[in-house]
Amino acid sequence: MNKKSANNHKITHWLHLFETKVFEYPKIILGLIALVAIFFALQLPNLKIYSDFADLLPQTHPYIELHNEIKESFGGANVIIVGVEYTQSDIFNNDALARIHRVTQAIDSLPGVNHNLVTSLTHRNTRKVWLTPEGNLNSEPYYNPEQTNQTDAALDSLKSDVIADARVYGPLVSPDMHMALIKAQLIEGKLDYAETFRQIRALQESEQAEGVKIHVTGQPMLVGWSYQYLDQIIVIFLFTGLIMVSLLIWYFRKAYGILIPLAGVIVSSIWGVGIISLFGYNLDPLSLVIPFLISARAMSHGIQLVERYYQELTTHDNHHLAARLTFENLFRPGSLGVVSDAIGLLLIAIGSIPLNTKMAHYASIWALSIIVTVLLAVPLLLSVLPKPKNSQATHNIFRHVGSLCADLISDQKSAKRLLVAGLLLMAGGLYFSSKVVIGESEPGSPILYQDHEYNLASKAINDSFPGSEEMYIVAETDEKGGIKRPEVLKALADLQRHMLLDPEVGGAKGAPDLVKQVNRLLHNTDPRWSQIPDDQLYVGGLMYTYMMSNPIPGALNEFIDTDERVANLVFYYKDHQGETIRRAIYAAKTWIAENEGKVEGLTIRLAGGTIGVIAAQNEAAFQTNLLVLPLVFLLIFCSVTLFYSSFLAGTMMLGAMFFATTLTYAYMGIVGMGINSNTVPIIAVGVGVGIDYSIYMMDRVRAEMVLSHSLIAAVQKAIRTTGLAVSFTAITLIAGIVMWVVLSDLRFQSDAALLLIVMVVLNGLSALLLVPSWILIFKPAFITSAYSDEDGVIHGLADADSSADSDAAPLTEATSATCLKKATA
């Protein structure tokens, strides 16, 4: 049986017939591609760029389920925190109190604010409670806006009253009494980020004065800041386009080399953005690096095709044949590379964050469209255009990269040295990878730089207060009025004591404190009565007394629900770094595990507030990281193994991916970048995109092996030719995202682009040095036994059969030396 017969390779023979038919109707196919591009272009006006807070949350996580249940009653993570700071005096003067009240009123007037969950020293809900001579409780606001000229004695009395109230002194007034906080919860469905940001900035401008600083932090403000940099997208886009065009001009210096890759990326981008608009998805400002990366990937594929086309023209005078050979040689490995890209993108959807799920859907389809818009369209376009007058290669620095790498791998000994060096780097990478934290490694928001106004405001507030980051722990009972049961309140008080053992907890607020405070007030403020009574009716009476002393409806809403079945405990932390959150959640889970079932009908649920929401995001990111990356590895391994019918081919790609990914995590550990819901997708995408280089290199070695019948010669020739394409396309890919590093004021976009650049460089080095070295050392049969069938399609023997191809020339030392000399030449 002749193994080269097309009858023995029916699938590849059918593919070859498809490739042949495609080139019989190039103009019709190009016309169809153009018509689809016009259709997608008509969808572009419907594109929306905005952030949706709900899209950032893992909706199936139990913490987020709790957050969704209690956000209307106790509040959620959409909190605005405003600090009014007097640098030269305390806040207990008429000017400061009037200013704090004006700011409070302005915050209470924001669009979508929950008026029942606004707190401030001067707000009507913040009240002084005392015992009257008749034995009744009474209350009044600490601040009366009609009394704007209080005497010094009245101001001193107000200061003393505030210091005596633990609900105000610490949570709302700083211990040094130079800053007051205004907190407000905003309702997600009614929240207008842009308008909220505009009003707050106007408020800051009007109320800031000499010796007065207005600090503002919170999720709505963070999103508002990200909106302010949307104009930068246009600037980044223009600079990116300029850089990539300049690279093409400098590299090719030929019209086809410049215009055809540009045409491919333009059509690909129209398809991609049209797909987003057609699906009705929004582009989030934080995820814009990914579309730029996909566009740059389309450009790099176009460059490889044009470069190979010019190489074919040096041996084939017929430019139609050169275009077809370019297609036949690069379409299959290119398609495999695109599928690898799409796998990395699609698997992002496994996580439970809607933003990443949406991005996975449109980005993976966009990436797959490159097969049509670039890998198919560019060779067809080259076949219908006139033959270029000048097909000689232009000399530039990139043409020396392949030669340099080829010189490093001159024999098996040097290949072994490179593999050992790679293993040592991986060992060091594993050590530094252990330093990567789950969540954020710095205080403030990683979306913005540490010296940004937002993070400076967060730092100022957290430096002045025991803690402004809130974690909610919710207690549920199985009956109405269950929270009034003494054993329930005592259990919650014990939980509070347990949580306060953590020195990072700045304070707590809950129903047990309220009951103890009212009980003490009813006993002439005797501290011995600051305890929870043993009688449920007495507890109910204390709550009723407090509620009746407050003429404002809903006096107990911040502590318990209207059925008195659910209570909210609030704990204050200074930051939401990964370590802080893990410690907080661990402490709560420890108490729950030790006390679960001790109080009948009581259930403790975690966790709401800013800390709870970010904890859910961190846990979801960690679980996604554990699942997505192994799946990316596995699916790419299976794709390569099936494509080349070789387990060793998949193993080689697995090693290349593991090398680049390990050192990527090492980089994250060194620079202090944490694993969170933003970085996990970037890593998955980087793995899929970066493995292309190794696939191209492996495929080129196999193709050269068919021609030279010498492994060392095939490796050398592949490095000198494909090494050129790898180095330049890597630079092109970097050029497509580098302006995010240089120009973006959003730190996350800059860090994400830099992380992708690191992955591209590492994957490029792996393809240029480690993959060829691995081939030389292990001599996989799918390469050493490679042959071409009657259709010109290359095949290899199975791994088990490592015998040389019977039709190939023997690999003698003389043959190897001759082929190596030709390859070097």
Q: What is the pLDDT of residue 34?
A: 92
* Model pLDDT for residues 677-702, shown as the tens digit of each residue: 777 778 877 777 777 788 888 888 88
Percent of the chain with pLDDT over 90: 8
Mapped onto helix, strand or coil, the DSSP state of residue 292 is: helix
Query: pLDDT-derived band of residue 460, with 50, 70 and 90 as boundaries?
Result: confident
The answer to whether the beta carbons of residues 400 and 637 sit under 8 Å apart is: no
- Residue with the bigger pLDDT between 423 and 810: it is 423
For 325-332, the CB contacts below 8 A with 24+ separation are 326/379, 326/382, 327/19, 327/22, 327/23, 327/375, 327/376, 327/379, 327/380, 328/16, 328/19, 328/792, 329/703, 330/304, 330/305, 330/375, 331/19, 331/375, 331/376, 331/379, 332/15, 332/643, 332/699
Inter-axis angle of helices 319-346 and 679-708, to 10 degrees? 150
What is the pLDDT averaged over residues 571-577? 83
The string of pLDDT tens digits covering residues 470-489 is 889 999 988 888 888 888 88
**Residue 528 zone, left/alpha/beta (φ > 0; ψ -120 to 50; rest):** alpha
Range name among 114-128, 197-211, 374-388, 782-796 with the lowest pLDDT average: 782-796
pLDDT at 587 over 70: yes
pLDDT at 795: 61
Give the CA dihedral 229, 230, 235, 240, nearest 10 degrees: 110
Q: Which of the residue ranges 301-310, 701-710, 782-791 would you say has the lowest mean pLDDT?
A: 782-791
Mean pLDDT (whole number) for 496-505: 87
| Residue 682, pLDDT score | 80
Q: Do 569 and 492 contact (CB within 8 A), yes or no? A: yes
How far, in Å, CA of 626 to CA of 337, rounded? 23
Cα angle 498, 501, 504 (rounded to 5 degrees) comes to: 125
Question: For residue 7, what pLDDT is reported?
Answer: 55
Say yes or no to pLDDT of 824 above 50. Answer: no
Q: Distances from the Cα of 55 to the Cαs of 51, 76, 287, 447, in angstroms?
A: 8, 15, 12, 16
At residue 809 the predicted structure's pLDDT band, cuts being 50, 70 and 90, is: very low
Phi and psi based region of residue 112 (left: phi greater than 0; alpha: psi -120 to 50; beta: remaining):
left
- Asked if residue 188 has pLDDT above 80, the reply is no
Q: How many helices (H) and strands (E) does the chain have?
A: 28, 14
- With a pLDDT cut of 70, the percent of the chain lying above it is 89
- Calpha distance 495→141 (Å, rounded): 30
Q: Spell out a b/e string for 339-374, using b for 16 or more CB atoms within 10 Å of the CB, else e.
A: bbbbbbbbbbbebbbbbbbbbbbbbbbbbbbbbbbb
Q: Tell me the per-residue pLDDT of 316-354, one tens digit each, with 9 for 90 and over.
A: 888 888 888 888 888 877 888 788 778 878 887 776 678
CA 719 to chain CA centroid, nearest Å: 34
Does position 807 have pLDDT exceeding 60, yes or no?
no
Segment 36-94, tens digit of pLDDT: 999 999 988 888 877 776 777 788 888 888 888 887 777 777 888 899 999 888 888 88
808 pLDDT exceeds 50? no
Which tens digit of pLDDT belongs to each residue from 728-746? 778 887 888 888 888 888 8
Residues 156-169: tens digit of each pLDDT: 888 888 888 877 88
- pLDDT tens column, 252-274: 777 888 888 888 889 999 999 89
Q: What is the DSSP letter of 466?
A: S
Does the pLDDT at position 819 exceed 80? no
User: What is the mean predicted confidence (pLDDT) over 611-639?
Assistant: 84
Q: Report how far apart the first and last C-alpha atoms of the chain are (Å, whole number).
A: 38
pLDDT value of position 16: 62
